[in-house]
Amino acid sequence: MPPTFVVPAATRDVGSSEPAVIGHEAIIEQVRRIIGSTYFRNSRRYPPFIRYVVEQALQRPGEVLKERMIGIEVFRRSSDYDTATDPIVRVTAGEIRKRLAQYYQEPDHHRELRIELPLGSYMPVFMEPAASTGEEHDGGESETSHRYVLPSDDPALLMPAESKQKNGSTAHALSDISDSIMLRKHHFLPLLSIGGTIFLLLSVAFVIFSHAYIRKPQEDTGLAYVWNPFWNTDSSTLIVLGTHSLDKDGHDLSPGEIPEMGKDTTMLSSMIRSDMVPISDLVSVETLVRPLADHRRKYSVRAAHETTFEQIQQGPVLLIGAFDNPWTLRLTENLPYVFRAGKNGVNWIVDRQRPQNQWGFDWSFDSAQQARGSSRDYAIVAGFFDADIQQHVLVAAGIGKSGTAAAAEFLSTNGYLKSWLAHAPAQKNNFEIVLTTETMDAQQGPPRVVQMQTW
């Protein structure tokens, strides 16, 4: 019996009671497109992961795919490795979910077969484009599950010819997909004339030139809107990173509560008081320096509590983190949306234009909630010229750590920025956006725009 998944009714012909058909070949070809994209092709981890889970979904539909098995089969971990201390599978799955969302946000990919990795599962689902974009026929209702049906009992009939010649297995079809874009091997070149060969080589060169020098400015319009003030200057960008200062019970201290170092202060107590940096913020730094590094712009990184007013006047400023970064709180205080600290670990983003009794309590995050489970974090991303320091400022700051990571991902991803610009009221010099991101079992989902203003 052929394996089945579910395709929404929206993808079927009107009046048809039969499920739509998505063959192995279509799924395999879509995997080729995805891992050949800019979101996947330069990674060593993402292509093998997505090939493996798709292979398992096609060969063993309906089964549960275990984290340990992926670690062993994909990342060559030992059979007794500790998944609690080695989260490579969970981290990679979270990144793949974000990159798939970014891939399908590109207009060129809206009508492609969708491959998604649901939160809380490592088994992918396959959906036709209409199912994922919410299109429905009149009178039709979208179902909650998804399936594909093979049009033949022989899966090998759906695979590329070169895969059938090996042994007809889906595993071989998927293993032939390269980690990077490669030209298929054809054997017609010896038959071409010298003139034809030269023409072919010139054509390839023209395509490469066009992609690098003609298409790139159009593709990077989202990044250019945000990062041009940092690219078009000879001054070094100062990246100001928030740091945590903790008391002996592990509670955050405000800058005014941090005691002066005495002669008996130890290196350990000094580090606990002022040098604690979340791993998620370090990942955000790595994410946000890519647009600077790609354009060979200079930058330096400093801890917020060590940064002076004179230093942030020397060039454009990138602020990471909110409540652990006093410079973020200070320079965003007069923006439309601001951070407000609450009690018992609950903090907010507030819309200053609302009446006082309606101040943004729907944009709140409780840092005291359980890390395992589902939650929703919020963040501010902003780009503006600050009159006090006479410099351009870019902010990536969440209420919680997932919010900051989502803000960094948003500001460094051309697809997210282009999608936002398409709906922005006007492209002006300054902007501020409230983002939200869903998390499940500490795995961050893609960022989503909640509110925005430009001026």
pLDDT of residue 288: 93
pLDDT of residue 315: 95
pLDDT of residue 87: 87
Task: Average the pLDDT over 38-52 and give the result.
Answer: 90
pLDDT of residue 408: 94
How buried is residue 168: exposed, middle or buried, by Cβ count under 10 Å (0-12/13-18/19+)? Answer: middle
Residue 358, pLDDT above cutoff 80: no
Task: Average the pLDDT over 360-366 and give the result.
Answer: 74
Residue 386, pLDDT above cutoff 90: yes
pLDDT of residue 169: 52
Instruction: Look at residues 405, 335, 353 and name the one whose alpha carbon lies nearest to residue 377.
Output: 405
pLDDT tens per residue, range 314-347 = 999 999 999 889 999 999 999 999 999 887 778 8
DSSP 243-289: -B-B-TTS-B--GGGPPPP-TT--HHHHHHHH-B--HHHHHHHHHHT
What value does the mean pLDDT of the chain take?
75
Q: Which amino acid is at 77?
A: R
Task: Average the pLDDT over 360-387 and give the result.
Answer: 82
pLDDT of residue 8: 38
Range in 145-154, 239-248, 294-303 with the lowest mean pLDDT: 145-154
pLDDT tens per residue, range 173-230 = 565 554 333 333 333 334 344 455 455 455 555 544 444 444 444 457 889 999 999 9
pLDDT of residue 275: 60
pLDDT tens per residue, range 221-242 = 889 999 999 999 989 999 999 8
Residue 446, pLDDT above cutoff 50: yes
- Rounded Cα distance between 153 and 157, Å, is 9
Higher-confidence position of 416 and 191? 416
Cβ neighbours of residue 261 closer than 8 Å, sequence gap 6 or more: 270
E-only strand ranges, 98-165: 114-116, 125-127
Q: How sure is the predictor about 429, in pLDDT bands with cuts at 50, 70 and 90?
A: confident
Range in 152-156, 265-269, 282-286, 372-376 with the lowest mean pLDDT: 152-156
Q: How sure is the predictor about 369, in pLDDT bands with cuts at 50, 70 and 90?
A: confident
Q: How sure is the predictor about 304, in pLDDT bands with cuts at 50, 70 and 90?
A: confident
pLDDT tens per residue, range 55-81 = 998 888 778 889 999 999 999 898 888
pLDDT of residue 201: 52
User: For 84, phi and psi rounded to 5 degrees?
Assistant: -75, -35
Buried b (16+ CB within 10 A) or exposed e, 297-330: bebeebebbebeeeebeebbbbbbbbbbbbbbbe
Instruction: Look at residues 414, 439, 401 and name the one whose alpha carbon lies nearest to residue 284.
Output: 401
pLDDT of residue 374: 78
Q: How sure is the predictor about 305, in pLDDT bands with cuts at 50, 70 and 90?
A: confident
Task: Average the pLDDT over 99-125 and give the result.
Answer: 90
Task: Average the pLDDT over 27-56 and give the result.
Answer: 91
Helices within 122-180 (DSSP H only)? 129-133, 161-166, 170-175
How far is CA 291 from its chain centroid? 15
Residue 165, pLDDT above cutoff 50: no
Residue 407, pLDDT above cutoff 90: yes
Element (H, E) at 94: helix 88-105
Higher-confidence position of 339 and 259? 339
pLDDT of residue 162: 37
pLDDT of residue 171: 55
pLDDT of residue 145: 36
